[in-house]
């Protein structure tokens, strides 16, 4: 049993942390305030090779394991949740289907430039009338002699306004629910594909969430990523990784917020002493520390299990559930420690408070995750040993 | 052009520091970083290499932890790095440090040695100058610009209000000041490479230096910074308040 990062992993974490605190963190506030896609910054991180971290070196990636990717997610979130939403979309969900199922031409055209930060990719499954219930999507893919015709609407699509290509979930057979879903690679500018409204939101600003409209959008047969009807399975293949990544985001945000709270508790005085010396504030600090450490253990344990080939869906669900809830708890307590200043625009506490909410939904809501955990529990007579 | 950069691992600027109960040591939160000024030195070395070819080698001295500063150098693009490993150097003086470094440097072929103008932990700004002395090399300190041509270097040294332009024959030692450049952020592939690279370590024995080679100064104790006296508010009409300020400055503080 060994609970520590290796020397190499610690070095990696230190380097990534230094780099992101230098290049990204200074813009966290302006990304949040302007709610604009930070294009320069996006390119800069691409040029440094960050988006290829999960992919093998022969296509410009660095072949990193899940622990390293989790470290990156954590450090991105420490710097800026808005930017983290953009960068992790690019590293994982936005590019993974074309990596796994794209042909050589598609990889050359979309994946390689995306890894370099020259093209933006995103994924679209959520619709106005369905989110958690993926099997209920209504966007249709109808086969014809030129490929498929897509019709339907997507909502809440990260980077939908700027994405150069989108991996879109559509059903070829609505009756089959999950079994009818396929993913299609659609390029910006394809006739019949347009963007609709932007959803103004209080969390993860900078990563715009958009409506995408498909109106008899003809795509070639090669747009189908993998096989018809297997989309849900393909998404499931990376779902645990997505959950561990979001758990990493929760961890990073919680740590940033905690440090802000700690510093404030040291500096702010009331009744003749630093507020951090009051037992009730100490209790907050202790409680937060424990929850963050517990989230860290669950998150990196899940990443470690993934790297060792023994991850179960439940482990990833627990990590995402606990870490994101811990983040929500921490940002709330940090806001309280700040008193009125927790509401002031000039302090980051209010941004942390808003940003944490974003983590609760994508990758499975806490309710859905608890359902998964409970299902697993019901199959057992006792605790497993691992 | 062969360039050597002297690199020190220092406590992270944000690490908490307090005086140990004995008063003879500092308790420093174990968070480390490469010395800020050494980053400027490294960046300059890499730029010179990109312009003129050659190689960049980083040399560090300290305990095993110091290897991380050298890995950072590799991540940024240094060709090689070596650690002179000796845990006791955290507590030894600049003379001793410079002596050991100069012994190591005698075994190297170089045109330029670069380092930071000072280490941000002790702020003594003494090691590179003493290394220059031990090696009999010229030293140009606190530079904000460096150009090399025809075996000579032209450097700008920042002074109060002016910059001094200095020419010097190579080999020579330069210390980097803030403003010399903007250190690069390593490529992620550079970080990966640095993670895995084996950084050679040499011992004082390898360099033929005895343990107590040259320590000339020793720290007796650490004193806490003077407590700032409480702020004193002077009330009253402006003219009367001004008279009171003058009285305090002249008679109480004897500052004027
Ligand atoms: C900032 C942001 C970015 C996003 N980016 C993308 C993107 O790029 N692409 C994309 O496709 N989607 C994206 N989403 C959408 C996200 O995936 C969905 O929000 C998520 O799947 C949940 O769906 P929903 O919000 O429609 O909630 P619903 O599924 O409608 O759930 C509403 C509530 O009901 C509960 N509930 C639902 N089903 C059950 C059940 N079986 N048991 C118990 N409780 C249940 C939920 O937990 C929740 O509390 C994004 C969302 C956000 C907030």
Concatenate the DSSP letters of all residues of chain B into one string: -EEEEEE-EEE-TTS-EEE-TTSSSEEE-S-EEE-HHHHHHHHHHHHHHHHH--EEEEEEEESGGGHHHHHHHHHHT-SEEEEEE-GGGGGS-HHHHHHHHHHHHHTS--SEEEEESS-TTT----HHHHHHHHHT--EEEEEEEEEEETTEEEEEEE-SSSEEEEEEESSEEEEE-TTS--PPPPPHHHHHHHHHPPPPEE-TTTTT--TTS----------PPPPPPPP----S-HHHHHHHHHHIIIIIS---
Q: Is the pLDDT of residue B24 over 80?
A: yes
Atom 23 of ligand 1, nearest CA residue:
A131
A194 lines ligand 1 (CB under 6 A): no
Closest residue, chain B, to A7 (C-alpha): B195
A180 lines ligand 1 (CB under 6 A): no
Residue finishing a domain among A72, A91, A115: A115
pLDDT for position A252: 98
Residue finishing a domain among A198, A227, A256: A227
pLDDT for position A1: 83
A43 touching B, CB under 8 A? Answer: no
Q: Are residues A69 and A203 in the same domain?
A: no
**Residues of chain A with pLDDT > 70: what percent?**
100
Closest residue, chain A, to B16 (C-alpha): A263
Q: How many domains does chain A have?
A: 3
B170 touching A, CB under 8 A? Answer: no
Instruction: Tell me which chain B residues have a C-beta less than 8 angstroms from the C-beta of A64.
Output: 192
Mean pLDDT of all residues in A92-106: 98
CA distance A116 to A101: 19
* CA B80 vs CA A53, B62, B204: distances in Å: 24, 17, 20
Mean pLDDT of all residues in A34-57: 97
pLDDT band at residue B203, thresholds of 50, 70 and 90?
very high
Instruction: Tell me which chain A residues have a C-beta less than 8 angstroms from the C-beta of B191.
Output: 11-12, 15-16
Q: Are B54 and B1 in contact (CB under 8 A)?
A: yes
Q: The domain that contains A196 carries what CATH number?
A: 2.40.110.10
Q: Are residues A131 and A106 in the same domain?
A: no
Residue finishing a domain among A193, A227, A261: A227
Q: Are A178 and A222 in contact (CB under 8 A)?
A: no
Residue A320 domain flag: yes
A322 lines ligand 1 (CB under 6 A): no
Q: Are residues A144 and A261 in the same domain?
A: no
- Residue from A97, A156, A206, A250 whose mutation best tests the ligand 1 pocket (most atoms within 8 A of CB): A156
Q: Which of A186, A164, A184, A156 is nearest to A85 (CA)?
A: A156
Q: Are residues A140 and A274 in the same domain?
A: no
Instruction: Tell me which chain A residues have a C-beta less than 8 angstroms from the C-beta of B187.
Output: 48-49
A103 touching B, CB under 8 A? Answer: no
Task: Measure A366 CA to ligand 1 centroid, in angstroms.
Answer: 10
Q: Are residues A140 and A187 in the same domain?
A: yes
- Of ligand 1's listed atoms, the one at least distance from the Cα of A158 is 8
Mean pLDDT of all residues in B8-30: 92
Instruction: Tell me which chain B residues have a C-beta less than 8 angstroms from the C-beta of A51.
Output: none
Instruction: Please count the other Cβ atoms lying within 10 Å of the Cβ belonging to residue B150.
Output: 7
Residue A2 domain flag: no
Residue A1 domain flag: no
Chain segment A110-157, per-residue pLDDT in tens: 999 999 999 999 999 999 999 999 999 999 999 999 999 999 999 999
Across the interface, do A62 and B75 touch by the CB < 8 Å criterion? no
pLDDT for position B48: 98
Across the interface, do B192 and A19 touch by the CB < 8 Å criterion? no
Q: Is the pLDDT of residue B107 over 90?
A: yes
CA distance B146 to B176: 9
pLDDT band at residue B212, thresholds of 50, 70 and 90?
low
pLDDT for position B205: 92
Chain segment A152-187, per-residue pLDDT in tens: 999 999 999 999 999 999 999 999 999 999 999 999
pLDDT for position A182: 98
Residue A42 domain flag: yes
Residue A328 domain flag: yes
Question: Domain span at residue A133?
Answer: 121-227
Task: Measure B13 CA to ligand 1 centroid, in angstroms.
Answer: 42
pLDDT for position B230: 75
pLDDT band at residue A385, thresholds of 50, 70 and 90?
confident
**Residues of chain A with pLDDT > 90: what percent?**
97
Q: Are residues A354 and A254 in the same domain?
A: yes
B229 vs B71 pLDDT, higher one: B71
Nearest CA to CA, how far is B208 from chain A (Å)?
30
pLDDT for position A386: 66
pLDDT for position B91: 73
Interface test with B, best of A5, A18, A51 (most B CBs within 10 A): A18
ipTM of the complex: 0.87
Task: Measure A237 CA to ligand 1 centroid, in angstroms.
Answer: 19
Q: Are residues A245 and A160 in the same domain?
A: no
pLDDT for position B218: 86
Q: What domains can you pick out in chain B, each with its CATH number? A: 2-202 (3.40.50.620), 226-256 (no CATH)
Across the interface, do B194 and A15 touch by the CB < 8 Å criterion? yes
Task: Measure A298 CA to ligand 1 centroid, in angstroms.
Answer: 23
Mean pLDDT of all residues in B92-107: 93
pLDDT for position B213: 67
Average per-residue pLDDT in chain A?
A: 97
- Of ligand 1's listed atoms, the one at least distance from the Cα of A367 is 47
Chain segment A192-235, per-residue pLDDT in tens: 999 999 999 999 999 999 999 999 999 999 999 999 999 999 99
Chain segment A255-282, per-residue pLDDT in tens: 999 999 999 999 999 999 999 999 999 9
Q: Does the CA dihedral A231-A233-A237-A239 come out positive or negative? A: positive
Across the interface, do B188 and A48 touch by the CB < 8 Å criterion? yes
pLDDT band at residue A350, thresholds of 50, 70 and 90?
very high
Across the interface, do A11 and B189 touch by the CB < 8 Å criterion? no
Residue for token digits 């470690």? A304
């Amino acid at each position: 049993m060994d609970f520590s990062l290796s020397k190499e992993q610690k070095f990696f974490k230190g380097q990534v942390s230094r780099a992101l605190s230098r290049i990204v963190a200074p813009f966290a506030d302006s990304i949040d305030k302007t709610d604009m896609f930070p294009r320069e910054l996006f390119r800069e991180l691409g040029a440094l090779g960050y988006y290829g971290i999960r992919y093998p070196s022969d296509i410009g990636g660095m072949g990193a394991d899940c622990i390293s990717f989790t470290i990156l997610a954590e450090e991105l979130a420490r710097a800026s949740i808005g930017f983290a939403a953009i960068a992790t979309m690019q590293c994982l969900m936005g590019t993974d289907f074309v990596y796994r199922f794209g042909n050589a031409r598609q990889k050359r055209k979309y994946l390689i430039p995306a890894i370099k930060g020259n093209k933006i990719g995103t994924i679209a499954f959520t619709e106005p009338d369905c989110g958690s219930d993926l099997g209920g999507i209504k966007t249709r893919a109808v086969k014809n002699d030129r490929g498929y015709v897509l019709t339907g609407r997507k909502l809440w699509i990260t980077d939908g306004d700027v994405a150069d290509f989108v991996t879109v979930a559509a059903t070829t057979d609505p009756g089959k629910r999950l079994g009818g879903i396929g993913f299609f690679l659609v390029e910006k500018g394809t006739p019949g594909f347009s963007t609709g409204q932007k959803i103004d939101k209080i969390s993860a600003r900078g990563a715009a969430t958009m409506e995408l409209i498909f109106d008899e959008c003809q795509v070639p047969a090669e747009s189908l990523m993998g096989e018809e009807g297997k989309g849900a399975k393909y998404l499931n293949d990376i779902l645990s990784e997505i959950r561990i990544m979001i758990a990493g985001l929760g961890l990073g945000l919680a740590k940033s917020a905690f440090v802000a709270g700690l510093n404030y508790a040291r500096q702010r005085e009331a009744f003749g002493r630093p507020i951090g010396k009051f037992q009730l504030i100490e209790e907050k600090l202790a409680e937060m520390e424990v929850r963050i450490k517990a989230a860290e253990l669950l998150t990196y344990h899940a990443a470690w299990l993934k790297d060792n080939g023994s991850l179960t869906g439940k482990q990833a669900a627990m990590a995402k559930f606990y870490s994101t809830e811990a983040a929500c708890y921490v940002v709330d307590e940090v806001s309280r420690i700040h008193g009125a200043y927790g509401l002031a625009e000039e302090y980051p506490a209010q941004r942390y408070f808003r940003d944490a909410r974003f983590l609760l939904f994508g990758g499975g809501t806490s309710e859905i995750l608890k359902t998964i955990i409970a299902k697993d529990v019901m199959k057992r007579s006792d605790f497993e040993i691992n | 052009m062969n360039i050597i950069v002297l690199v020190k691992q220092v406590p992270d600027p944000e690490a908490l520091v307090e005086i140990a109960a004995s008063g003879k040591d500092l308790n420093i939160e174990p968070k480390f970083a490469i010395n800020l000024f050494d980053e400027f030195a490294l960046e300059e070395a890499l730029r010179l290499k990109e312009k003129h070819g050659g190689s960049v080698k980083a040399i560090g001295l300290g305990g095993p932890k110091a290897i991380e500063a050298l890995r950072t150098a590799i991540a940024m693009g240094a060709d090689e790095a070596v650690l002179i490993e000796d845990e006791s150097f955290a507590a030894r003086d600049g003379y001793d440090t410079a002596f050991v470094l100069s012994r190591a440097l005698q075994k190297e072929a170089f045109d330029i040695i670069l380092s930071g103008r000072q280490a941000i932990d002790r702020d003594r700004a003494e090691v590179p100058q003493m290394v220059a002395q031990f090696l009999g090399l010229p030293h140009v300190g606190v530079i904000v610009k460096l150009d090399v041509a025809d075996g000579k270097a032209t450097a700008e040294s920042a002074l109060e209000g002016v910059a001094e332009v200095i020419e010097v024959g190579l080999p020579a030692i330069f210390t980097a000041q803030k403003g010399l450049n903007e250190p690069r952020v390593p490529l992620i592939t550079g970080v990966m490479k640095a993670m895995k690279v084996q950084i050679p370590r040499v011992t004082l024995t390898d360099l033929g230096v005895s343990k107590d080679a040259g320590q000339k100064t020793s720290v007796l104790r650490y004193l806490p910074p003077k407590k700032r006296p409480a702020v004193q508010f002077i009330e009253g009409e402006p003219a009367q308040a001004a008279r009171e300020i003058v009285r305090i400055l002249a008679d109480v503080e004897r500052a004027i």
